[in-house]
Amino acid sequence: MIKKRTFLAMALLVGLASCDDILVVPDISEQSVIILAPMDGSALTANSVNFNWETMDEATGYRIQIASPNFENAAQFVLDSVVEVDSLGYVDPRLGQNLLNGTYEWRIKAFNSAYETSYTTSAFSVNGDANFDATPPNTPQLVAPANGTSQAETTVNFSWTREDVPGTTERDSIFIYEDESLSVLSSKAIGANKTYGTNLTTGTYYWNVKAYDTAGNESNPSNIFNVTVN
């Protein structure tokens, strides 16, 4: 009888521990993200626009969209981006975007693993420099070393192509990583005439290129190639 009672008590404790381990995801569907800027009806005189909002404790990310002139009659979707909380639980509640003069709406919603809020929407206008460059550079296309190349020489000559966009001066930055997840950066440099040469030690490297212009626009990152130095 004592053994039976002991077994039941242990089973009850295990059951309680299991209940404590169940993760309850907060329901945020009835909440709304508070927009700080640009607020509804704002008239901005700068083409570089900073979008700001208040963070929500139970949210793990935010979806931000911008349309022109508005979402109901959108002639252009300028942005559709997701900002997520990092591994330390931090998220930067702001996002920068260069915009041409015109009328816009932006909206934002929060989400977690099980729920999401409805969008909060704000309309604004931009009346800055009529000649402002808001066109990002084209995405670089990697050329050499070809993906998967192995070489004995420690000097590696990288090259890529990209057609320049008329407007402000553009430049290319090359990023060379020591791991496929692109978490360990070996070196970063500005390419000259879409080339870059450097000496690397033995190992496999993963590299990509991104273009920037002096107006603050940036391209999407290129695809990723790897090269092995034997």
What is the per-residue pLDDT across 177-226, written as a single tens digit (0 to 9) for each? 999 999 999 999 999 999 999 999 999 999 999 999 988 889 999 999 99
Residue 103 sits at the vertex; the CA angle it makes with 100 and 109, to the nearest 5 degrees, is: 100
For domain 141-229, which CATH number applies: 3.30.70.20, 2.60.40.10, 1.10.760.10, 1.20.1440.230? 2.60.40.10
Model confidence band, residue 86 (pLDDT cutoffs 50, 70, 90): confident
pLDDT at 22: 65
The CATH classification number of 35-126 equals: 2.60.40.10
pLDDT band at residue 167 using 50, 70 and 90 as cut-offs: confident
Q: Residues 101-159: pLDDT tens digits? A: 999 999 999 999 999 999 999 999 999 998 888 889 999 999 999 999 999 999 999 99
Using the predicted structure, report yes or no on whether residue 71 has a pLDDT greater than 80.
Answer: yes
- Inform me whether the pLDDT recorded for 12 exceeds 70: no
20, pLDDT greater than 80: no
Q: Residue 61: pLDDT above 50?
A: yes
List every span in the chain annotated with CATH 2.60.40.10: 35-126, 141-229
Q: What is the pLDDT of residues 24-40, one digit of tens each?
A: 899 999 999 999 999 99
Q: Looking at the predicted structure, is the pLDDT value of residue 8 above 60?
A: no
Instruction: Kindly report whether the peptide bond that precedes residue 136 is cis, defined as omega within 30 degrees of 0.
Output: no
Closest by Cα among 177, 32, 2, 180 to 116: 32
Please list the alpha-helical segments (H only) found in the chain. 2-21
Residue 2 pLDDT: 46
pLDDT digit string, tens, across residues 37-57: 999 999 999 999 999 999 999
User: With 80 as the cut, is the pLDDT of residue 168 above it?
Assistant: yes
**Helix (H, G, I), strand (E, B), or coil: what is residue 74?**
coil
- Whether the per-residue pLDDT at 10 is higher than 60: the answer is no
